[in-house]
Amino acid sequence: MHHLIDRRLNGKNKSAVNRERFLKRFKSQIRDAVARSVKDRSITDIERGEKVSIPVRDINEPTLGHAQGGVWERVFPGNKEYLRGDGIDRPDGGGGGQGNGGSGNGGGGEDEFAFELSRDEFLNFFFEDLELPNLIKRQLRETITFKPQRAGYTSDGTPTNIHVLRSLRSALGRRIALTAEPLRELNEAQEDLDQLLETRDEHDPVVKAAMERIHGLKARLGSIPFIDPFDLKYSNRIRVPLPTTKAVMFCVMDVSGSMDENKKDIAKRFFILLYLFLTRVYEKIEVVFIRHHTQAFEVDEEEFFHARDTGGTVVSSALKLTRQIIEARYPSSDWNIYVAQASDGDNWDSDSPQCREIIANQLLPALQYYAYVEITEGEPQNLWYEYEMIAQTHAQFAMRRIKDPSEIWPVFRDLFSKHPEKAAA
């Protein structure tokens, strides 16, 4: 006798729980590994799942065992040249046994435990602890969105909302309540009748009266309906207003001639990171891409990251465009507005004070946060000094310098890590 069972349709993710526990247990190591693994690579790769490795010593499960030393006598297969009594020099490392009891199988000696994270898991680790600062604005728009939500049962409503179970339950209750009395009387009458019949003939008027009473009671019982409009219960749904937080992020990038390929690459990687972070953390966020040299243009995502053009630099052109777009489309009473700007710090000299003026007086009052990254190895130029003045007086203005690609991630983290005191400011 045997059974042949097809188990393929059973769930295959039996190990999911254990896998999750593993990730949870080694969270900090995995986070380090994730940070390490993105440091020097193209950021676009992040979109995929990721191979990470963590040190084996951290995840070892210790057991009691022997170390080398003492006397060991072991048997090995495949003797080619040795005779009894031959001496062999010890292999390097003082180890006496080439095979260690047969346990060191399959890639033994690896000191990294490598495994794959799915894309979601990876990004979770990647953006953990980061947030958009100051997301506290009022921005409840006049047209509030509603979300239907269950709220118990009512006794009236539309037929589509009839709750069958509840309705039948109350029908049952009603029937029990209404039939109890007639049923008891019926039983009594039945017993009376049985007693009467023992002594009397069935044409006797007393018996007839009893039979009529029984008949009447049965009719009464029969007239109690199985279900009554009174029994009907309806699922109740109410509409709950949903506060909507609306946010828009302006990505401003300098693509002038002084931004060489390397710097542009760093800037792009910074923005890709930012873009991934935003699309991941905030379901509803609008992103506006602005490229500028002497003139600024609003472009789409594709063009922002991939198009090439060059020219001189007038930073204020981009800031003006930003302001115009805010005024036209994103009134600051309704929107949380963020601006991130990347540049090499090069600017047309007399333009820089104007930039400061625009940011400090026109933009910042409408903004939640303004992040500026300067990608340069050289000395800070006038733009940096002008911006420093803004940073001293405005808490929601942040600026950092990036020298080489390895700093992108730390700076990014620094700009967007959760600072409770900053959020309060």
Partner 1 sequence: MATSTRPSTPREEPVAPVRQPISTGSEWNFELIDQYYQEIKRIADEFGLDYYPNQLEIISAEQMMDAYASVGMPVMYNHWSFGKQFLSTQKNYQRGMMGLAYEIVINSNPCIAYLMEENTMTMQALVIAHASFGHNSFFKGNYLFRTWTEADAIIDYLVFAKRYIAECEARYGEDKVEELVDSCHALMNYGVDRYKRPQKLSLEKERARQAEREVYLQSQINDIWRTLPRRAEEAQADAPSRFPAEPQENILYFIEKFAPLLEPWQREIVRIIRKVAQYFYPQRQTQVMNEGWATFWHYTLMNKLYDEGKITDSAMFEFLHSHTSVIMQPGVDSPYYSGINPYALGFAMYRDIQRICTEPTDEDKRWFPDLIGKDWRKALDFAMRNFKDESFIAQYLSPRLIRDFRLFAILDDDENPQLKVSAIHDDAGYADIRSMLAAQYNLAHREPNIQIYDVNTRGDRSLTLRHFQHQRRPLANSVHEVLKHIARLWGFSVRLDSVDDKGEVVLSYECKMEKRGGFF
Please, what is the minimum distance in Å from the beta carbon of residue 71 to partner 1? 4
CB 340 within 8 Å of CB 271? yes
CB atoms under 10 Å from CB of 132, counted, come to 19
If one counts every other C-beta atom within 10 angstroms of the C-beta of residue 245, the result is 17
CB nearer to partner 1: pick between 7 and 284: 7
Can you tell me which of 64, 164, 165, 424 binds partner 1, judged by CB under 8 A? 64
d(CA 201, CA 186): 21
The verdict on 1 binding partner 1 (CB under 8 A) reads yes
Question: For the chain, how long is the longest CA-to-CA vector?
Answer: 127
Please report whether residue 153 would count as binding partner 1 according to CB under 8 A: no
Residue 392 found at the interface with partner 1 (CB under 8 A): no
Q: How far apart are CA 93 and CA 125, in angstroms?
A: 39
Q: Which of 87, 148, 205, 420 contacts partner 1 by CB under 8 A?
A: 87
CB of 117 to partner 1, least distance (A): 10
Query: What are 146's strand-pairing partners?
Result: 241
Smallest separation, CB 3 to partner 1 (Å)? 5
The sign of the dihedral angle between the CA atoms of 365, 349, 251, 46 is negative
Only segment of 39-47, 114-122, 151-159, 360-368 that touches partner 1 (CB under 8 A) = 114-122
CA-CA distance, 251 to 46, in Å (whole number)?
A: 20
Is 167 within 8 Å of 225 (Cβ atoms)?
no
Q: Of 23, 183, 276, 285, which one interacts with partner 1 (CB under 8 A)?
A: 23
Q: Residue 359 burial (CB < 10 Å; 0-12/13-18/19+)?
A: buried
Is residue 120 near partner 1 by the rule CB under 8 A? no
- End-to-end CA separation in angstroms for the chain: 76
Q: How big is the chain, counted in residues?
A: 425
Q: What are the tokens at 120? A: 């979601």
Q: Which stretch binds partner 1 (CB under 8 A): 100-108, 123-131, 297-305, 308-316?
A: 100-108
**Dihedral sign, Cα of residue 346, residue 347, residue 349, residue 352:** negative
Question: For residue 170, which of 149, 182, 153 has the smallest C-alpha distance?
Answer: 153
Looking up tokens 């940073």, which residue turns up?
A: 391
* Smallest separation (angstroms) from partner 1 to the CB of 371: 37
CB neighbours of residue 373 within 10 Å: 23
Which of these ranges, 33-41, 89-97, 193-201, 330-338, lies near partner 1 under the rule CB under 8 A?
89-97
Is 159 a residue that touches partner 1 (CB under 8 A)? no
Least distance to partner 1, CB of residue 31, Å: 16
When binding is defined by CB under 8 A, the residue of 90, 284, 306, 308 that contacts partner 1 is 90
Is residue 116 near partner 1 by the rule CB under 8 A? yes
Q: Footprint of partner 1 on residues 43-62 (CB under 8 A)?
A: 59-62
Binds partner 1 by CB under 8 A, chosen from 28, 39, 44, 97: 97
> Which of these ranges, 14-22, 285-293, 306-314, 412-420, lies near partner 1 under the rule CB under 8 A?
14-22
Closest CB 40 distance from partner 1, rounded Å: 22
What element of type H or E holds 290?
strand 285-292
Residue 93 binds partner 1 (CB under 8 A): no
- Report the SS3 class of residue 98: coil
Tell me if 82 contacts partner 1 by CB under 8 A.
yes
Helix or strand holding residue 268 (H, E): helix 261-281
**Among 103, 158, 199, 392, which residue interacts with partner 1 (rule: CB under 8 A)?**
103
> What distance in Å separates the CA atoms of residue 248 and residue 289, rounded to the nearest whole number?
11
Does the protein bind partner 1 through residue 160 (CB under 8 A)?
no
The contact pattern for partner 1, residues 24-43, with x = CB under 8 A and - = no contact, is: xx------------------
Which of residues 111 and 379 has its CB atom nearest to partner 1 in the complex? 111
Enumerate binding residues for partner 1 (CB under 8 A).
1-8, 10, 12-15, 17-25, 59-80, 82-90, 96-99, 101-108, 113-116
